[in-house]
Structure 1
Amino acid sequence: MAAVSGCAASGAQPMAGSGADRDMIVVNALGGLGDPNHPGDSLVPDVSPRVLAEAHASGLTAVNVTLGYVAGPQDPFEASVNDIAATDALVRAHPANLMKVYTAADIRRAKDEGRIGLIYGFQNGAMMGDKPERVDTFANLGVRIFQLTYNPANQLGDGSMAPENRGITALGREVIARCNANHVMVDLSHSGEQTCLEAARASAQPVSINHTGCRALTDLPRNKTDEELRLVAERGGFVGIYFMPFLNPTGHATAADVVAHLEHAVNICGEDQVGIGTDGSVTQIDDLAAYEAVLVKEIAERRAAGISAKGERPDTYPFVVDLRGPDQFRKLQRLLAAKGWSSARIEKIMGLNFLRYAETIWGA
């Protein structure tokens, strides 16, 4: 969930992990670097000492950070270029902690050098306007992931909350072709079902759904049907499961729900096509009551902007209540191991599957 004025996430106290889990490559296919205790008005990462320390403590190797226009009155193209420039400046200012990811090899290098790889991504294709050639511009600026739609419809296709459930537009097909030519990921998170199916078939390269849940388990528009999941997997793509309220019909998702959606996704897609895209960061919330007040305001803003999804409510946290903070990745590993998953499968889910997919699209 990208906020109208920044993004929120939550945390818990870090815990020590075993040498094995510390050594895993952990790729969050959609997340962020931010401090929900001090939310800002921008999607540009927050790289305060605390945010960086807790991100490192979590074992995070690389994260797809949302930049640019999602919604609001600003010019989509200008806002997106400005976010890229601002994030580039942050990376230059923190070379010991951060690196910009262009290829799969950069993710491995981030791991080897103890840095956090930032994968630049969009969550709305509105900044393309009616000019598909802008894909070339943004690819040259280092954007590696292009999500076609957010929750509403745009000029490329219908989002998950667009009632008509129309497919990809002619312009959307041109944008997909440009993405393929520039070797950037086509992300179908937030898309409507018909847009997702048509876009997956239109793309000459495998596509991704970087942050979603399984509609077979929780029937909400932000989750993907088995048909969508299967098609993306059959074409060599990637599916990331989020840590969001949409995993449970009550809106109060738990770690057990994350495990259940991962298990279902693996059953449908196979263990080589599934990973995680939490849709959050790892910084701990110090005062949950104060955060709840911020959340009420954020949900009201999202509803007013027409970008809210069914299942978002002021009383539902945009995170999994018992799978949060710097220990979230290690705790998930422990829960999957307790389910009998092999260490090899867990390593795939935590990052190696995304890395394989990245090699397919970006190159090794």
Structure 2
Amino acid sequence: MPSQKINLRDRLEDNQLDLSMSDLDEVPVRDIAQIKKATSLDLSNNRLTSLGKNFATLTHIVKLDLSKNQLKELPENFGDLVQLKHLDLYSNQITHLPLSLGQLKALRWLDLKNNPLVPKLAEVVGPCLDAQQCQQSARKVVVFLQQMQLQVEEERLRRQQQKKKQQEMKEQAALEKKKEAQQQQQQQKKKKTAKANEKNPNKSENGIKMPLASPGGDSIPVKKDKGHNAAKHKKNSSKQGSGLLVRLLKILFFITFMTVISLFMLYTIDKERFLLLQETVLNLANTTIASLPEPVQKHGKQLIDTVEPIAITCYRHAATFSHQAYVKGEEFYIWFRTDETVQQYMESLRSIWDMLCVKVGETYRTISQQVPIYVEVVKKKLF
């Protein structure tokens, strides 16, 4: 029945507006809003399937009866009815409640029997078989929906922050990519400039051609630029020479370190062979250092003077430790020396060791032959 055919004033008694059993399929919200006196609204036993978004404008309603309709849901802004204390939704088709219903802090009565509620909500709502249970249902539902609203808000904020972070990461990646592209462009530009300078040496650093002396003597050569280029070339040569010296010192240090480790192992296993090899290594080191430039000789001698006492101390400690271990493990040593299987194994190891010593000697001889050649090349580049 259309709302305009109902005289709402005739249905008003004290503060209660009774529109039950009026065959309504739509709530006359505008007409009801004009009756501010009606704080109790009865819309039960009608054909309502929805309330509409403007239903929440009836903020003066304190008691609302929507039982025995065909409502499937409540509007999302239903929580705007902040004065609502009594809500009857008995026998409808409601499955969910809007989160805004958690804003109804004044709600003291809620009846949701005979509704196809989802299991979780049905568990919170409870049976509502008497006044006390309906009151508990109102409190539990409001608290539950408040918690759900907080969780939804936290999830929304988390997704918002995650989206913001992803956007920042994308912007950072784009910025880094842009910087890399700029660096590549600058490198390519430098390479092109260097190639151009190699092809045409008469260009200065800023790309201006230098005048050449013509047969007629019209052009005057600029000696200042030649001197500048010579100084620059000398500076570059000095840098290259310093780099070569650093590299050479690193190689010498590595060879010295490996020599110390090898000599320590040899001293522990075979003292006689160690003394022989030590003499050979020192001779090779002195020969190599003598063929180097004077600054390198100085650093090399300092290195040997520093390493040699440390190595001798290590050898002495190793010898003492070996002697003590030998005294304490004499029985094991006797077994070790008399067992046939162990002796066969040791013979194999000695063969391998002899072969290794031969290879090491060949390597040192090769190095002693190649280092002077390398030093001569360095001298030519430096001097």
TM-score by length of 2: 0.25
Q: Where is the helix percentage greater, Structure 1 or Structure 2?
A: 2
Q: Where is the strand percentage greater, Structure 1 or Structure 2?
A: 1
Structure possessing the higher relative contact order (Cα contacts under 8 Å, 6 or more residues apart)? 1
